[in-house]
């Protein structure tokens, strides 16, 4: 299969679109966002990151007639039984206020000392007329409070990857891109599709 020259990023999250576009930049692929194409956001009805990524990619590919890449990712906290997990964005409410979401994580953890956490990223590449391809990446770490740093997006300011001293919110974006859950899923995608 030839690597796509144009690709719809099936997301309305500007931070996520920016990060994916940066990861795809070396491959000369023109990136369009679902928001820019005014594509509807499908309801995420699956019970896994992979299932939701597939649903979003296939909906965007069908609506646009172009190859589409979707990401479903989130924060899983051991002390919360894996929550917020696939509901990570919903914890931020309708206004996508991740400051509130981070406060909720801290509040729900309460006195629980198990601060182990991991980010998961599932990527789905849907190309019209072909079978959807799936890739998954994960990075492990722990939560820190109060939030630190204003870089990145989402839960980045409370996530400290194993072996690091800076949260994803404090880290230089290039370093985060090289080691994140999304970067790990992208390595698999690039190996199969772009090389």
- 111-140 tens-digit pLDDT: 999 999 999 999 999 999 999 999 999 999
Whether residue 171 is predicted with pLDDT greater than 80 in this model: the reply is yes
Known catalytic residue at 72: yes
**Which is catalytic among the residues 38, 71, 72, 162?**
72
Q: What is the mean pLDDT of the chain?
A: 91
* pLDDT score recorded for residue 23: 80
Look at domain 6-194 and name its CATH class. Answer: alpha beta
Query: Using CA atoms in the order 96, 100, 75, 105, what is the torsion angle rounded to 10 degrees?
Result: -160
Query: Using CA atoms in the order 161, 52, 97, 119, what is the torsion angle rounded to 10 degrees?
Result: -10
Q: Is residue 170 within 8 Å of residue 156, measured between CB atoms?
A: no
Lowest mean pLDDT among 15-19, 98-102, 158-162: 15-19
Closest CA to 181 of 153, 152, 140, 142: 140
Rounded CA separation 158/144 (Å)? 5
């Amino acid at each position: 299969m030839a690597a796509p020259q144009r690709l719809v990023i099936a997301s309305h999250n500007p931070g996520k679109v920016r990060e994916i576009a940066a990861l795809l930049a070396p491959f000369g692929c023109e990136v369009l966002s679902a928001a820019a194409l005014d594509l509807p956001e499908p309801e995420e009805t699956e019970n896994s990151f992979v299932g939701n990524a597939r649903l979003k990619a296939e909906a965007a590919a069908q609506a646009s007639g172009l190859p589409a890449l979707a990401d479903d990712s989130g924060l899983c906290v051991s002390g919360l039984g894996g929550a917020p997990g696939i509901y990570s964005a919903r914890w931020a409410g309708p206004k996508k206020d991740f400051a509130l979401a981070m406060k909720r994580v801290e509040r729900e953890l309460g006195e629980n000392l198990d601060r182990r956490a991991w980010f998961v990223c599932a990527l789905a590449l849907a190309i019209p007329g072909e079978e959807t391809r799936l890739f998954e990446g994960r990075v492990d770490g722990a939560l820190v409070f109060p939030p630190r740093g204003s870089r990145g997006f989402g839960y980045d300011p409370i996530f400290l990857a194993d072996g690091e001293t800076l949260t994803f919110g404090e880290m230089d974006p290039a370093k985060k891109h090289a080691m994140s859950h999304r970067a790990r899923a992208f390595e698999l995608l690039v190996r199969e599709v772009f090389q």
